[in-house]
Every structure is written in structure tokens, then in C-alpha cells.
Amino acid sequence: MKIALAQLNYHIGNFESNENKVREAIEKAKALGADLVVFAELAVSGYPPRDFLEFDDFIKRCMQSVEKAAKSCRGIAAIIGGPLVNPEVKGKDLFNTAFFLEEGKIKAQVNKTLLPNYDIFDEYRYFEPNNEYKIIEFKEKKIALTICEDLWNIGDDLLYRGNPMDDLLPFKPDLMINIAASPFHYEQAIDRKAVLKANVEKYKLPLFYVNHVGAQTELLFDGGSLAFNKKGEIVGELAYFDEDLQIFNVDEMHQLPEINQQQLPGKIELIHDALVMGIKNYFGKLNLKKAILGLSGGIDSAVTLVLAERALGKENVRAILMPSKFSSDHSIKDAEDLAKNLHIQYDIIPIEPGTAQVNEMLKTHFENLPFGIAEENIQARMRGLILMALSNKFGYILLNTSNKSEAAVGYGTLYGDMNGGLSVLGDVYKTEVFELARFINKDAEVIPENTIIKPPSAELRPDQKDSDSLPDYAILDKVLYEYIENRQGPKELIEMGFDGAVVNHTLHLVNTNEYKRYQTPPILRVSRKAFGMGRRMPIVAKYLARD
């Protein structure tokens, strides 16, 4: 029996596009001699469909897509994921289902047992867990069919009480197939391979695994679908960050040698590739064309501009330089040099005339108080006003350039530099932004060297440096990583050797700036714990917030 793994970039709710992709993959797999083609979890709807699942019409359209896929299955069978109505009155209204299609019909269906309800996942909000176990028989093979999380309850730290494969093993299956929607973070491919290998070693069965690829707003999917022989060796690996289709002969799996696995890029290259894909898919799936951003001469806007140019093309990106009376000549030159290196249209719009008018207008209301944070923020908001005016007038989408370190401690101005339709670097710490810049410059200088080596500054007051308000980023980012990603509290952080004053001040800033993060644009997720849908914190809270 020959199995084709079809790794596709789906678009949530774009039924026509998804149906066309599925039909073309079925035809291609059939032409290549496959007996069975396997698609990903919730392929017909795209993942995650979220509250679209609460609309009857959406579910009907999903089922129509499954039925259309079934009609294409003549001389070939398919497995495809989609939502299924639960006929029982008790329980949730839907199942997360893998449909087995053959001879133009839906021949069988298997429902997902383990429903993740942590971090970015909230499947139990919509789906009823499976409680009936069965295998799929096809071409004299018994298939143990599972869905994503169903294979992840393995090892020492178990999240669930049961394990679907333990319940399927008495049926004496010949192979395992797992359809998945496994979102990207820069360590996920390593984790994924380890989990799947552990299943193969435990059950002594070959395994075929199909993942999504592409971006769905903030969630990125890297693909990397896999085929294992029963010895736990990877004998097939599909592309990363791209669509792919490969065929494997089940009867020859034991003879196939372990492949020279694709050398996974390093962390920073993975982040780079994921962000480029995220920008490209966000614009492409929303039928948007052009991006705009404020280019300051600093490293965050520089890296964002390069990523946008690589995702959208130089003709679709516009940079706006908005110097203030505090901007250095070198910052302006650095920004111009970068735009010229990339051959990108740029304009210079000084903000001083506008800020002077606002300051004059507020002069009596400010009661002649000294220059302070209000005046600094007026400058940032003037830049935001200019960018949004150009966005409205010409139809650009504004890219936000704030990094994760700034977002964590609230080092940004609401309705100013925190504006945007998409946050490109909001899950990338400042130290990682520097690494991205070095990666971008690995073959030639794209980002001016001075942009990388000069001390970071918002340039909103004379001789301002980020270090005036924040700990050194090399220290700050380590504290933030341990607190945000690893959930270490102040006592644990101090025991790890971090200065107590730095720890307490940093955690206070993080927890008192939650209200700002509630108002940020969608953040492309590249880490295990990103701000946004995967980190849910109350705004009105006292924990670690000082008086």
C-alpha cells in the first residue's frame, strides 16, 4: 500500500481554495500511484477556526467540503480532518474528526480523544472528546488513526489520564497515522520528533504524520510532516515552511534506511523564516498588498523592514522617516542607507511642526510644567498619526515594530509606536533582534553596521538611552524569559542569581503593563509563550504589582 502525505497551506473559512487544494492533491497522489492520501487535522476548515465553529452554516460548509473530497476519491482513498456534528444531546455539539473517504463516500470517521486546552489551544471549548475506539481497515492493513494531541500523552509528565493508542493496540494495527495542526515555535520541530519517535518505539509500528504549513494570523505552522519505520527511524521528512507531497510504500518501510534528515536551521534562522512566512500569509490571505512602517534608524524598525521586503517585495513596502528635534543625524542617515540598500521607497516627514502645534495648544493646560513623559508621548503619537494617515489615504497596512522586551515592560506609547495592523517582532526579545540583524547581514551588509552597534534609544528627549529606564537587555531578557516562558517567580529568579532589585522592578513592569498588551496588534508567535492568545492575564490584579 502506498501512502501520500499531503502537507498544504489552508485558509480558514476559504472553502473554495481549500477544496481546490485538496482535489489537486488527490489527483496528484493518484497520478503518482498512491492508494491513500492523508491530509491534516481540520483541513477543510483551516486551523484554528475558533468561534466560526458556533455557526451552523460554517459546519454545513465543512461537511460539504468533506463530501466533495469524497467524490474525488475514485481509485484512491483519503483521510481528511474536519468538524462533525455530535448526534448526542449530552456533551459538546461537535467532534474534531478524521474522515476516511473511499469510493466516493465517507466510509468511516475517527474522533479526537485528547483535546488540548492550554496556551494557544482551547479545543474543549468546542469539541466533545471521543470515547469509542476503532481502527480503519484498508488494503488488508489495519490503521490506527489518531489526531494530533492523541499521540502527545507519552513520557513521564502526562497531561491526560488515558492514551488512545493504548486503547487501539488490542485491535492489532499494522501502522499509525496521525493528522495534526501543530503550531510553530523555534523548538517545536525537535519536540515533535521526540514525541513521535517515542510513540513508534513504544508501539513498534510505523507512523505517518501530516502537519499544516502556513500562517493563520498569529499562529505559524512549519510543516515538517514525517514518516517513521517501526524501528523509530525517520525515513521521510517533508518541507519546512512550504507545501509538499511525498509518497511512501508501507510494505517497504522496514527496508528504507533512515534518511539524512533536513538539517534544521538554527533558532534565529527559524525565527527569520517563520516571520517572513507570517507576514506573507497575513497579507496574502487578507488580499492585502502594501505595507508601511516608521523607519527610525534603530534596529527594530530596520529588521522589520527587511523582513517585510523579503515577504512582500520591495515594490510593496514603504518606509517613513519621522525625525524629531532629538533625532541624531546618524539615525536619519542609517535609515536612509537601509532603504537605499533595499531599493525601497522612503519619505522624510519631520514631526517637529506638528508636535510644536500640539504643545502650544496644550501649553496653558499643562500649566507651564517641565518637559516630561507627556511631551515624549506626543512625539510618538505624532508619528503614529502620520503613519495611520498615510495608511488610510493609500491603503497601506502599518507594521508594528515593537519587540517582546519592550512589550513586556510597557516601554512603548499606546496610539503611537504601538500602532499597527500586525506586530512582526512582538515575540522576539531585543537580544534576539540583534541576532536577527546579524543573520540578515551574514552575506553582505544590508542593515547599516551603526544601526546594530549603537546604544538603543527612543530619541524622545536629549541624549536618551533605553538603559536610562531599563536594565541592560542582556540581563533584562534573561529575567523576562524565565518569568514569561518558564513561569519562574521572584524567589526562584533571585535564587538563580539575578539581582533582587532588578527582578522586582522587572516583574512589576510586566504585570502593571498588561493593559497595554491588550491593545496591541496580533503578534506573530515564534516562542513557546507569546503575548496574545497563549498568555491570558488579568489587567486588574495585584500580584507582583507594587503600590
Distance CA 346, CA 350 (A): 13
How far are the Cα atoms of 217, 301, 306, 394, 460 from residue 321, in angstroms, in the given order? 28, 10, 15, 17, 14
> What are 210's three cell numbers?
501530516
Residue of 30, 128, 148, 459 with catalytic role: 148
Question: Which is catalytic among the residues 112, 193, 280, 285?
Answer: 112
Q: Is 132 a catalytic residue?
A: no
For residues 334-353, one letter each, b for 16 or more C-beta atoms within 10 angstroms of the residue's C-beta and e for the rest, the string is bbbbbbebbebebeebbbee
Q: Is 41 a catalytic residue?
A: yes
In sequence order, what E strands does 218-290 have?
219-222, 226-228, 234-237, 244-249
- Start-to-end CA distance of the chain, whole Å, equals 68
Cα–Cα distance list, 325 to 76, 451, 456 (Å): 69, 19, 17
* Rg of the Cα atoms in the chain: 26
User: Is 226 in a helix, a strand, or coil?
Assistant: strand
- Residue 112 annotated to the active site: yes
Beta bridge partners of 36: 3, 77
Which residue of the set 2, 30, 41, 432 is catalytic?
A: 41
Inter-axis angle of helices 329-342 and 299-312, nearest 10: 10
State the Cα angle at 443 between 438 and 448, rounded to 5°: 50
The region that residue 92 occupies, defined by phi over 0 for left and psi between -120 and 50 for alpha, beta otherwise, is: beta
Q: What span, in angstroms and rounded, lies between the C-alpha atoms of 458 and 270?
A: 28
SS3 357: helix
By annotation, the residues acting in catalysis are 41, 112, 148
